[in-house]
Chains A and B, each alone.
Chain A
Amino acid sequence: MPELTPDLVVAATLQVVLFVVIATGLFQNGLYAVQLAIALVELASQRPERRASLLWRRYAEVSPPISLLVPAYNEELSIVDSLRSMLALNYPDFEVIAINDGSKDGTLAKMIEGFGLEPIIRDYQDAVAHAPIRGLYGSAQHPRLLVIDKENGGKADALNAGINCARAPLFCGVDADSILERDALLRAVQPFIDEPSRTVAVGGTIRIANGCRIERGRVLSFGLPRTMLGLFQTVEYLRAFLMARLAWSRLRTLTIISGAFGIFKRQPVVEVGGYSHGTVGEDFELVMKLHRHLRERGDDYVIRFIPEPVCWTEAPESWRVLGRQRSRWQRGALETFFRHAGMFGRPRYGRVGTLGLGHVFIVDVIGPPIEVLGYILVPLLWMLGLLSVDYLLAYLALTFVFGIFISVGSLILEEIELQRVPRVIDLVILTLIAVVENFGYRQVSNLWRLRGVWQYLTGQQGWGTMTRVGFRRA
């Protein structure tokens, strides 16, 4: 038996750590590859209808009413244009409920001025908890619009106020700084028409609006962001929505519907107490609460993702703001994972407990710290001559090269099935970005996520501020 020297212990420990780093990377990338394959199958089996007239003919008569909930905090720059675009949506029966969440700027004044609002009385049910409502506003010129002015309580709180005032059986949460395509609701409502009893929630695709031509809250033409950071996020969003969410939707394990655009049945959301306070990942948290509630009740239900309805959003174009956003997202993911950790791996919760939360565990919980550990350890050990070239290459493959396959694969999905990137040159640029983002951006992104882990562990709260420039005019 060899003598147990300190050198031997260190070497053995390093071997184990490296094995964990490689195994986690392998597992994570394997998961992505599977998602990509499933997403391809799902996209091929769907039947997106491009013609708006046929869409209206197909769904208008049977579309259930929808209440659009638009929480707004310090959105004076864009709120009127956003609401105008929402009021002009192509949908037979909907109302727009804008919730001024105690803004410190002129958000409410802008809405009052822009729509000729006056105080009104409207009864509402206190079904879910929220901060006190100060007043309700409406306008005879815009009968579909209701404005709620309430004390500040955060986005989840504002959405809860909207849920209480909503009169439709479905509600759609939309960020005030986002723009819905005219047919987005008609497309997103499809699962509620095809499977009306089983469908509980539907999410749509979020795309980056930076670089698009926008006028009065409408996207006139597609364009790519002009900064590298914007371009990286464009590819990132494609990967997140077209690959991950679509795949999990097909496997019925979708655990998140973006807060920027998602349609929910009001009743089950009320049953789970609406959006949760005290979390920065209220969208993830709501979907997990729904899964838990419906699984425990033994309901037969579906939560779907539809790639065609598109919501455009302004992405941060400064490293500082983007970093804060990503740390916050990471914190939100961890908060929700640990709140619902009791579901993890339990057969009672089916695939949501195994695949859904398993994915969150690999990608969000252990993924970032282990990958960052690899960034430090692998090159260091190789330079010290303690690591073979094979190990180094395997690590480089998993952190850099495989990412190219996944990102370009998502772009391929987009091009084969949706073709929402109109110009060939844009397609070429995005392909290059899909390669380049793996060398630098991905690593920085992981550091931001690690900061989110730290913030979670040290109990740091808050959203940080998003500096808006408003959408570029035509």
Chain B
Amino acid sequence: MLKAIWTVSLALAALSLAVMGFLVIARGFSESRRAKVAARRDALLASVIGWMAGETSDEHVTGELARDLDLSIDLLGELFEMVRGVEQGRLAGLAESAGVAGHLRAGLSRRSVAERLTAAETLAWFTSPETVAALDRALADPDPEVALAAASSLAQIGADRPVRQLLGPRFDRSDPSRRLEMVIARVARRRPGELAELALDAARTSRLRIAALDALAQAGAPEGIIAAETLAAQDPSVDIRVACARVLGLLGHPGVAPTLAALIGDAHWAVRAKAVESAGRLALTELAESIVALLSDENWWVRHRAAEAIERLREAGLATLKDLIERHQAVSVSKAPADRAARA
């Protein structure tokens, strides 16, 4: 046993040093390779920029891109972020004809999750039917991040799909990635009715319903007001009622004052805080009295948001506050002789 400890330790130390030696040698080779790749990348970038400026022919730049597709994907991924509008479309067309998009579509079925994820994300720039079909298939990817990235890319491309189809099994998962919110936000303009239905569906998870409400608010969809007003009155979930208060404040319809007034009186502090914040944002002067009353709420956040809201109501808020103070002082003064008498 004692000898074994010595032998095994020695063997492991020697093995680790041998592996490290091999890695050092490998690094030496890869460094020179890296330098060559960097030089090729610079040359490719110059070609593509020349092509965008009309100085290089389509054939030349297509050939250059096709020579090293992985490098081209890396380069174009960055260029897509820098250009906008027509230039983006031109670049996508160039990449498609050079086989870059095809290479990415093939990347969706690679073994490495990282490669599939990059492919699913980068394909958002390509609108061809082949890409849409490949992304549709990727919705069933075993890795949830890849599937959500594919859904997000489909939504960005403009492929009109039901939310349930885009989210697949993630639809009912209790703790999916925050990409879920991104996917839902991207379909809000196209499918506001579906999102409103989703928000109202008590059988769905709170995360999903709140994401639907927030997406409607971000899209400025009136369906969001109807859904939030309905849920604010009846939903037992605090998180949903907080979302309703937030959404009503963001969508900014003056007709929501009665609903916000009800939420200001909610039993949970988080709902009251969000409701009073929204009332302040919409400058609902008719709620000034209820807002001022929250200055003596038991919760710090409610009092804080109420103070902010009063500031936003300007004259109306300050006048109500003054009125309250005067009434309070009058009560104190009228009670003072009685208190003194009681103490005596």
Interface residues of A (CB under 8 A from B): 22, 26, 29, 33, 47, 49, 51, 53-54, 56-58, 61-62, 64, 123, 125-126, 192-198, 388, 390-391, 393-394, 396-398, 401-402, 404-405, 408-409, 411-412, 415-416, 419, 424, 427-428, 431, 435
Contact = CB atoms under 8 A, between A and B. Distances in A.
Contacts, number: 121
Determine the main DSSP class of A at the interface with B: helix
Nearest to B79: A53
A431 B175 contact: no
Contacts of A408: 13, 16-17, 19-20
Given A402-B9, A408-B17, A428-B24, A391 B178 contact: no
Nearest to B145: A194
* Residue of A33, A47, A396, A416 with highest tally of chain B CB at under 10 A: A47
B142 to A, nearest CB: 14
B78 interface: yes
B324 to A, nearest CB: 20
Nearest to B23: A415
21 contacts: A29-B9, A54-B118, A58-B121, A64-B178, A194-B145, A195-B177, A388-B2, A390-B3, A391-B2, A394-B3, A396-B6, A397-B9, A397-B10, A408-B19, A408-B20, A409-B16, A412-B19, A412-B23, A424-B24, A427-B23, A427-B24
A416 B16 CA distance: 13
Contact of A197 (B175, B304, B307): B175
A62 B180 CA distance: 9
B3 A424 contact: no
Contacts of A412: 16, 19-20, 23
Contacts of B1: 394
B74 interface: yes
A435 B117 contact: no
A424 B23 CA distance: 10
Given A57-B81, A195-B175, A390-B6, 14 more contacts: A49-B118, A61-B182, A62-B177, A194-B145, A194-B177, A196-B177, A390-B2, A394-B3, A397-B10, A402-B13, A412-B19, A415-B27, A424-B28, A428-B24
B5 interface: yes
Task: Give 3 nearest A-B pairs by CB, closest first.
Answer: A397-B9, A47-B114, A408-B16
Contacts of A61: 182, 185
A53 B81 contact: yes
A391 B4 CA distance: 11
B179 interface: yes
Given A394-B2, A397-B9, A62 B179 contact: yes
Contact of B77 (A53, A388, A394, A397): A53
Contacts of B117: 47
B120 to A, nearest CB: 10
Contact of A193 (B6, B15, B78, B177): B177
A125 B5 CA distance: 58
A345 to B, nearest CB: 27
A393 B114 contact: no
B5 A398 contact: yes
B177 A427 contact: no
Contact of A62 (B13, B21, B118, B178): B178
A387 to B, nearest CB: 11
A165 to B, nearest CB: 12
Contacts of A58: 121, 149
Contacts of A195: 175, 177
Interface string B10-47: 10110111011101100110010000000000000000
Contacts of B81: 53, 56-57
Contact of B17 (A396, A398, A435): A435
Interface string B157-190: 0000000000000000011011101100100000
A48 B81 CA distance: 20
A243 B169 CA distance: 35
A94 B8 CA distance: 51
B11 to A, nearest CB: 9
Contacts of A416: 23
Nearest to A391: B2
Contacts of A431: 17, 20-21, 24
Contacts of A53: 77-78, 81
A196 B175 contact: yes
Interface string B45-62: 000000000000000000
A394 B20 CA distance: 25
A396 B307 CA distance: 69
A57 B9 contact: no
B16 A197 contact: no
Contacts of B121: 54, 57-58
A419 B24 CA distance: 11
Given A53-B78, A123-B307, A431-B24, A404 B179 contact: no
Contacts of B13: 401-402, 404-405, 408
A344 B3 CA distance: 34
